[in-house]
Amino acid sequence: MKNLRMKNAASRIITELSNLSIVEAEMVVKHVGKELFRNWVMPEAPTRRLSIIESDREVYEFLLSLDLEFMTQRDVFDVCVDQFGEERMPKKSSFNRGFRKLLAHKQLREE
């Protein structure tokens, strides 16, 4: 252990776990590990930034109305540029990154 505080904590935990069977102690340790991870590493749902497509509701709904499964990314991008103009569309690389997400959203809506 690196410091006295950690040694003391380990000692107290071992004292408590020694009253249990090996199987029970292992279950407790696993449960505590999961809870610590959940509370310390992910205290709340992470917030994410909306992409340019998601932040423009009209473009987003239009994209979901297309047959994305049967069109290439390039075709979808070109149709959107024709419909909304280049100023409302993200760059091609951003659009390509979001294409899979669009497919997933479309599939969720259809279910």
Does the residue 15 lie in any domain? yes
Element (H, E) at 85: none
- pTM, entire model: 0.52
In the block, residue with structure tokens 């992910």: 42
Run means of pLDDT, 10 residues per run, the chain, 111 residues: 84 91 91 77 64 84 88 90 89 82 78 62
Whether 60 and 87 map to the same domain: the answer is yes
Query: What's the number of domains the chain is made of?
Result: 2
| pLDDT tens-digit readout, 77-105 | 999 999 999 888 888 888 887 787 888 87
Domain that holds residue 58: 52-110
Instruction: Give the C-alpha separation, 82 to 10, whole Å.
Output: 65
Does the residue 47 lie in any domain? no
Does the residue 64 lie in any domain? yes
Percentages helix, strand, coil for the chain, rounded to the nearest 5?
Answer: 75, 0, 25
Instruction: Give the C-alpha separation, 90 to 76, whole Å.
Output: 13
Whether 56 and 11 map to the same domain: the answer is no
